[in-house]
Structure 1
Amino acid sequence: MIFNISVTCYYHKSAASDENKQIADLLIELTTQNKNWGFGLCFLTLRNVIGLPYNHKRVYRIYCELELNLRIKPKRRIKRVKPVPLAVPVEPNQSWSMDFMHDALTDGRAFRLFNVIDDYNREALTVEIDFSLPAQRVIRSLNQLIECRGRPDQLRCDNGPEYISNALKDWALEQGITISYIEPGNPQQNAYVERYNRTMRYDWLNQELFTYLDQVREQAEDWLYHYNNERPNMGNGGFTPIQKLNQAA
């Protein structure tokens, strides 16, 4: 007895094989470039950033076959009791959050990073880098942002000396901007930028050794582009900051 098998069966298997190879290649590329990414960020990048239609189950099966699920050891975190939720802005420039970070060059010299994000879409607006960043440098950076981005209604920050300085308070008063100070010892009240800082630390700063300050600044430009345009953000429903900004336009 002779069975006739349709050529569409061969085509279907071949197409599925090609698609699986494409998924595997992209997963390997994403996890190589972003060593701290788990499956969630990889899948959201394939679906929302690259625009591939493959379903969750299929991508996860290939992810596990590649043993990429064994790369990252889950971290135990302390669960806060009844954390206070932050207000969610309904449009850009309602509220910006700002904070400082610290790191060091290979010769041991410490440097500072001044971060500002828009709470609406979690967009990283700037990162100012130098050995010293006094209040006047903070004001200069904010002025530059306002020129290209517009004026925020509110700035959220902690009680660091640069933020409580008369220079910044006077500047904010002239600009008609409210400074919202969090309570001392309550960084969760500045959770948007704290979460951003943690991502910057794990995905960029901890992956590199810096020998000079200009090297940090150059890489900061690449980081800002990657974070805003290529990295899905769960606070945005799995879309990148720029995608959410475009949705609001």
Structure 2
Amino acid sequence: MIDFVKTVFGVSIRRACRAVQAPRSTYHYVARRPPQEMLRKRIRELAETHVRYGYRRIHILLCREGWRVNVKRVRRLYNLEGLQVRLKPPRRRVMAKLRSDRSDAMGPNEVWAMDWMFDETFDGKRLWVLTMIDTWSRVSPGIRVCRSATAMEVVEALDEACQRHGFPRSIRVDQGCQFTSKELDLWAYGNGVVLDFSRPGKPTDNAYAESFNAIVRMECLGQHWFMDLDDAREKLETWRQEYNEVRPHGAIGDRPPSAMLPRPGVDLPIVQPPEFLR
């Protein structure tokens, strides 16, 4: 306020303080508060270790460690650090992992990718298509066609695909409700599979699934009329087998994806695609 009066009316500090009825010592006061960097750092460390602790519990821990600080200061620094506790607890995802350690697959069944697509039959009824792809061999372990996209459909499709190809180490999925469900998390926990979730609004985090969906759309869904659910299942399964056994894939040297899988009694060398195709 004093600076505002000085600037607008062009008066001295003495006259500005007299106008707003404030002592000049208040204007010239310089805070002598000691720096709080060490305390703020310790508060953040405790909050990261105990993610469900609020400022009151953190104040108790600080007092046990010997910090001479009251709860009001802890609350102020706690809020400045943006450490407010969420009232809604996060969804439990036992088999979820962070993306920081994501790396390219070095062999078959290391990483799968899944995603949902939709289409319709000739009479306009909705069809949901669950696509799967092995990110290293480019083999499609399975494609499931159903009327509704539910978590149980995902679990049943994974059971069928794993019976044919074995269990993957991890599966990359988006944040859809079918993939964040308790049913899929329980299935992954029971079979030792890690669910690797992409970031919300970042479809490029699941680029293999998005690329495979584009192939399915162009080469199958966009080329056929589907009379009913059984007809769609038959045509998509026929296309999947042709994709795995016949269709040349540019990312693996124009070979069919099945050529990347090891044969009984034969050890295939691990062949990485050319750098410009990765």
Question: TM-score scaled by structure 2?
Answer: 0.56
Q: Deviations over 1:8-53 (max 9, x none)?
A: xxxxxxxxxxxxxxxxxxxxxxxxxxxxxxxxxxxxxxxxxxxxxx
Q: Which protein shows a greater Rg?
A: 2
Among candidates 102, 108, 123, match of residue 124 of structure 2? 108
RMSD of aligned Cα (Å): 1.5
Give the drift of 1:237: 2.1
Give the drift of 1:87: 3.6
Match of 2:211 in 1: 195
Q: Deviations over 1:45-83 (max 9, x none)?
A: xxxxxxxxxxxxxxxxxxxxxxxxxxxxxxxxxxxxxxx
Matches within 5 A, 1:175-194: 175-194=191-210
Matches within 5 A, 1:42-191: 87-191=103-207
Whether contact under 8 Å (2:109, 2:168) holds in the other structure is: yes
How many aligned residue pairs are there? 164
**Residue type of the alignment partner of 2:255:** F
**Residue type of the alignment partner of 1:106:** F
Q: SS of the residue aligned with 2:251?
A: helix
Give the drift of 1:141: 1.4
Give the drift of 1:121: 0.8
Give the drift of 1:209: 1.4
Give the drift of 1:156: 0.4
Q: SS of the residue aligned with 2:141?
A: strand
**Residue type of the alignment partner of 2:119:** D
**Residue type of the alignment partner of 1:166:** K
**Residue type of the alignment partner of 1:144:** E
**Residue type of the alignment partner of 1:171:** W
Among candidates 233, 249, 267, match of residue 233 of structure 1? 249
Whether contact under 8 Å (1:91, 1:248) holds in the other structure is: no
Give the drift of 1:151: 1.3
Give the drift of 1:181: 0.2
Unaligned runs of at least 5 residues, structure 1: 1-85
Give the drift of 1:88: 2.7
* In 2, Cα distance between equivalents of 1:142 and 1:248: 27
Q: SS of the residue aligned with 1:224?
A: helix
Match of 2:236 in 1: 220
Match of 1:245 in 2: 261
**Residue type of the alignment partner of 1:109:** K
* In 1, Cα distance between equivalents of 2:246 and 2:192: 34
* In 2, Cα distance between equivalents of 1:130 and 1:121: 26
Percent sequence identity over matched residues? 31
Question: TM-score scaled by structure 1?
Answer: 0.63
The structure whose RCO (Cα within 8 Å, separation 6+) is larger is: 1
Unaligned runs of at least 5 residues, structure 2: 1-101, 263-267, 271-278
* In 2, Cα distance between equivalents of 1:147 and 1:225: 16
Whether contact under 8 Å (2:141, 2:164) holds in the other structure is: no
* In 2, Cα distance between equivalents of 1:206 and 1:144: 26
Q: Measured at CA, do residues 131 and 211 of structure 1 come closer, stay the same or move farther in structure 2, by a change above 3 Å? A: same
